[in-house]
A and B are shown apart, each in its own frame.
Chain A
Amino acid sequence: MLMAPLRALRSLHSLRLAPVLGLAHFGHLLALLMAALLWTFADLGEAKPWAHIRWMDVAGEGGMVLMAAIWLVQLRSSRPAGRVTSLLCLGLGAMLLGEWIDVLDEVWQLPKAMVWDNWLESALVPLGMLVLTVGLQHWREEQLALNDQLLKRERLFREHRSLDRITQLGDAVYMSTQIELEQRRSRPAALLMLGLQGFDSVAREQGLAEADRLLQAASHLLLLNLRPQDLLCRYAADRFCVLLPGGDAADAAAAAEHLRLALSGLAHHGREGARTQLPGLAAWAVVTAQAPAQQQLLDLAQRLRP
Chain B
Amino acid sequence: MSIDLQSALARLCPAPGAPVYQQGTRFLAWEHQAALLLAFARSRELDPGALLDDAGIKLAPLLSPQQLLALLGALQRRLASPDTPFVLGQLSLPGHFGLASHALAQAANLAQALQLLVDHSARLSPLLTPRLLHHQDELILLWTPACGVGAAQRGFVVDMQMSAVTAMCQWLGGEPLPWRYSFNRTRPRDLSQHGVFLGGHLQFDCQVDAMRLPAASLGKTWPRGAALNLAAQALAQGADPPAAGRGLLAALDDYLLPRLPELPGLELAASAFGVSSATFKRHLALHGTHYQSQLDQLRAQVAVYLLQLRGCSNEAAAAQLGFHDRHNFRRSFKRWTGMTPSLLC
Contacts and interface: CB of A to CB of B under 8 A. Distances in A.
A173 interface: yes
B199 to A, nearest CB: 7
B195 A208 contact: no
B264 interface: no
Nearest to A300: B195
B311 interface: no
A297 B195 CA distance: 10
Interface in A189-238: 200-201, 203-204, 207-209, 212, 235-237
A301 B195 contact: yes
B87 interface: yes
Interface residues of B, number: 26
B171 A301 contact: no
A173 B190 CA distance: 7
A305 B196 CA distance: 8
Given A208-B40, A306-B176, A200 B196 contact: no
Nearest to B168: A204
Which of B79, B86, B195 has the most chain A CB atoms closer than 10 A to its own CB? B195
Given A235-B196, A298-B195, 7 more contacts: A164-B81, A208-B40, A208-B87, A209-B43, A236-B83, A294-B192, A305-B199
A297 B199 CA distance: 13
15 contacts: A165-B79, A165-B81, A200-B171, A203-B90, A208-B43, A208-B44, A236-B195, A236-B196, A236-B197, A294-B191, A297-B192, A298-B200, A301-B195, A301-B196, A302-B200
Nearest to A209: B43
B90 A200 contact: yes
Interface in B163-178: 167, 170-171, 175-176
Nearest to A175: B192
Given A165-B44, A306-B176, A301 B90 contact: no
Interface residues of A, number: 26
B193 interface: yes
A99 interface: no
Contacts of A235: 192, 196
Contacts of B190: 172-173, 176, 294
B43 A236 contact: no
Contacts of B189: 173
A171 interface: yes
B49 interface: no
B33 to A, nearest CB: 16
Contacts of B44: 165, 208
A239 B200 CA distance: 14
Interface of A: 164-165, 171-173, 176, 200-201, 203-204, 207-209, 212, 235-237, 239, 294, 297-299, 301-302, 305-306
Interface in B41-69: 43-44
Interface of B: 40, 43-44, 79, 81-83, 86-87, 90-91, 167, 170-171, 175-176, 189-193, 195-197, 199-200
A201 B195 contact: no
A239 B86 CA distance: 14
B192 A212 contact: no
B197 A237 contact: yes
Nearest to A297: B192
A48 B86 CA distance: 68
Contacts of B195: 236, 298, 301-302
Nearest to A306: B176
B83 A203 contact: no
A299 B44 CA distance: 29
Instruction: Identify the interface centre among B79, B83, B192, B200: most chain A CB within 10 Å of its CB.
Output: B192
Given A298-B200, A306-B176, A203 B192 contact: no
B90 A207 contact: no
Contacts of A201: 171
Contacts of B40: 208
B192 A208 contact: no
B106 to A, nearest CB: 16
A237 B87 CA distance: 8
Contacts of A236: 82-83, 86, 192-193, 195-197
Contacts of A171: 82, 192
Contacts of A302: 195, 199-200
Nearest to A207: B43
Nearest to B83: A236
Contacts of A209: 43
Nearest to A165: B81
Given A203-B91, A208-B43, A237 B86 contact: yes
Contacts of A294: 190-192
A294 B189 CA distance: 9
Nearest 4 Cβ contacts at the A-B interface? A172-B192, A236-B196, A302-B200, A208-B43
